[in-house]
Amino acid sequence: MKRTVLTGLALTAILAAGGAGYWAGQSGLAVGWRGWLGIEGSLAANEPAGTGPVIYYQDPDRKPVYSAQPRQTDDGRPFAAVHASQDVSFEVKPPSEETTAQADPKRILYYRNPMGLPDTSPVPKKDSMGMDYLPVYESEGNEDGVIKLSPGRIQRSGVRSEPVRRQNIVQTIHVPGVVQLDERRVSVVTIRADAFVQEVAPITTGDRVTRGTRLARIYSPEISTAGAQFITELNAAARGVPEGGARQRLENLGVPPEVIAEIERSRKVPLTINWSAPRDGIVLERSVSDGMKMTAGGSLFRLADISTIWVLADVPERQLAAVAIGAPARVRLRGRPDTTFEGRVGVIYPEIAEATRTAKVRIELANRDGILLPNMYADVDIGSDDAAPQLAVPDSAVIDSGSRRVVILDLGEGRFEPREVKLGRRGDGMVAISEGVSEGDRIVVSANFLLDAESNLKAALSGFAQPEAKP
């Protein structure tokens, strides 16, 4: 008896559930077992259930609207949860042919391979992996060279665009250099008459001297004779006899002015004369010793003033046109990488080295604290001084294949067009555009290689599909 009652109750529950389902179907309601159990529905009725964590939420009508958190549509319907096992893609799934015909009056020209292969079809089909061929509409086919991408694909590809602006392009040339002495500040201490070196001052190569420092004490018979004649003329001038050319002779022999003044005051010719430094500087070379006999024109010392010094940079021939007189330059010593010197290009040497195909560029620097020493190696950065603004884009925006230079224009609404351009000077990560774009045009600065490949692919597919698209 009890068994019969339980069986009857079960049959009654089944018939009630069937009747409710029939009523819901007639009323247009979608009631599933997940809804009866209170579990959130994440898929359509004709799709398998997903597994794994929820990746994101998508509009229940498959519109390209996504959310990282649960949300509802304007009419109160919940977004569908997309799990890890399901297709995680930002692309808008192609609608069925019937839905497309009702919602979009655009005519489909042909269908192209979803993997980019040069294979088209006049009717919908699938490839070997079961992927649907993508439709190409009439409006897309009419825009030669223009490609159109969905917002999801643009976001996933990392496409970024910037407007074309006018700006100054500073081209910096990085070249090696060598520190050299200023040729105008090098002095050779010589004697213009035969003489004997009585004593040399305790000065050696590398010592710093100042103007008037005694370098050596010499005895010269010729200078002594000229000094005696000068005294005779001075005594005669006291008696009213006109002075002769003895003073001029002493000056021609290179006798220091202070020695001539002492002879004139004391009326005596010194046995030896102190030979002094003509300028401040360092001793580059010492050529005398005590007791030596020097002939007229012999060199005693070689001095150099290093308060101002040169840096000779080797600029390659192909970059020489970008260097101008007065261009700013920055010098860093390889032995002191934390120390920099600022200067300007003073001279561009009118000669190209045959072996290295470089030209010498001279930069004058103030040698503070005497840090710069001859023959030091340095790294030189030479900038351009062009103040004329030019249309410029980042280097990353230009696709240079060797035979053509292309930028990708962002036309808005997911439409992009390749445009050939002519380039100008480069510098600081920017390149000037002399022809092909206008100020304010938006150009793609990242992922442009993908867009260029897509454009070339579209042109190739259009060529394949032209005969099939025509009736």
Any idea of the CA torsion for 335, 336, 341, 347, to the nearest 10 degrees? 10
pLDDT at 19 over 60: no
Mean pLDDT of 409-433: 82
211 assigned to some structural domain? yes
- Higher local confidence (pLDDT), 151 or 423: 423
Q: Which of 366, 383, 400 is the C-terminal boundary of a domain?
A: 383
Q: How confident is the model at residue 240 (pLDDT cuts 50, 70, 90)?
A: confident
pLDDT in the model for residue 353: 92
Max Cα distance, the chain (Å): 172
User: What does the pLDDT read at residue 362?
Assistant: 96
pLDDT score at 101: 44
CATH number (domain holding residue 448) = 2.40.420.20
pLDDT at 335 over 90: no
Given this model, what pLDDT does residue 37 score? 36
Examine the domain organization and report whether 268 and 200 are in the same domain: yes
Query: What confidence tier does 407 reach under pLDDT thresholds 50, 70, 90?
Result: confident
**Average confidence (pLDDT) over 282-306:** 91
Q: Is residue 188 situated within a structural domain?
A: no
Q: What is the pLDDT of residue 138?
A: 65
Domain-embedded: residue 401: yes
pTM score over 0.95: no
Residue 327 sits in a domain whose CATH number is 2.40.30.170
User: Do both 457 and 393 map to the same domain?
Assistant: yes
| Alpha-carbon distances, residue 261 vs 279, 284, 329 (angstroms) | 20, 30, 48
CB neighbourhood size of 240 (10 A): 6
Angle, helix 221-238 to helix 257-266, in steps of 10 degrees: 50
Instruction: Please give the average per-residue pLDDT across 50-74, as a whole number.
Output: 80
Q: Is the pLDDT of residue 34 over 50?
A: no
Q: Is the pLDDT of residue 219 over 80?
A: yes
pLDDT tens for residues 140-173? Answer: 545 556 777 777 777 777 788 888 888 887 778 8
Q: What is the spatial distance between Cα 77 and Cα 57, in angstroms, rounded to a whole number?
A: 12
275 and 229 in a single domain? The answer is yes
At position 354, the amino acid (one-letter code) is E
Closest Cα partner for 147 from 460, 397, 470, 468? Answer: 460
Q: Among 149-158, 214-223, 286-295, whose mean pLDDT is lowest?
A: 149-158
pLDDT in tens, 130-149: 888 888 776 554 555 677 77
Could you give the CA distance from residue 283 to residue 215 in angstroms, rounded to a whole number? Answer: 10
Looking at the structure of the chain, the number of domains it has is 4
Pick 63 or 467 by higher pLDDT: 63
Asked if residue 97 has pLDDT above 90, the reply is no
Q: Measured between alpha carbons, how far is 150 from 156 in angstroms, rounded to an integer?
A: 10
> Are the CB atoms for 152 and 64 separated by under 8 Å?
yes
Find residue 378's DSSP bridge partners: 177, 333
- Residue 54 belongs to some domain of the structure: no
> Of 270, 296, 322, which residue constitutes the final position of a domain?
296
Q: Are 112 and 136 in contact (CB under 8 A)?
A: yes
Share of residues in the chain with pLDDT > 70 (%) = 76
Mean model confidence pLDDT for the chain: 78
202 and 152 together in one domain: no
State residue 176 phi and psi, 5-degree precision: -85, 160
**Residue 303 covered by a domain:** no
The reply to whether 259 falls in a domain is yes
Report the distance separating Cα 90 and Cα 149, nearest Å: 11
Give all strands (DSSP E) within 184-252, no chain letters.
186-190, 195-200, 208-209, 214-219
Of 383, 399, 430, the position where a domain reaches its end is: 383
Alpha-carbon gap, residue 232 to 246, rounded angstroms: 9
pLDDT band, very low/low/confident/very high, at 10 (cuts 50, 70, 90): very low
Both 393 and 378 in one domain: the answer is: no
Q: Are residues 282 and 237 in the same domain?
A: yes
Around 443, how many Cα atoms within 13 Å sit in the side-chain half-sphere?
A: 27
Structural domain containing residue 122: 108-140
> Residue 45: which residues within 8 A CB-CB, separation 6 or more?
30, 32
DSSP 68: S
Asked if 400 and 451 sit in the same domain, the reply is: yes
The verdict on 204 and 269 lying in the same domain is yes
Look at residue 33 in the predicted model and tell me its pLDDT: 37
- 77 pLDDT exceeds 70? yes
- Is 351 a member of any domain? yes
128 lies in some domain: yes
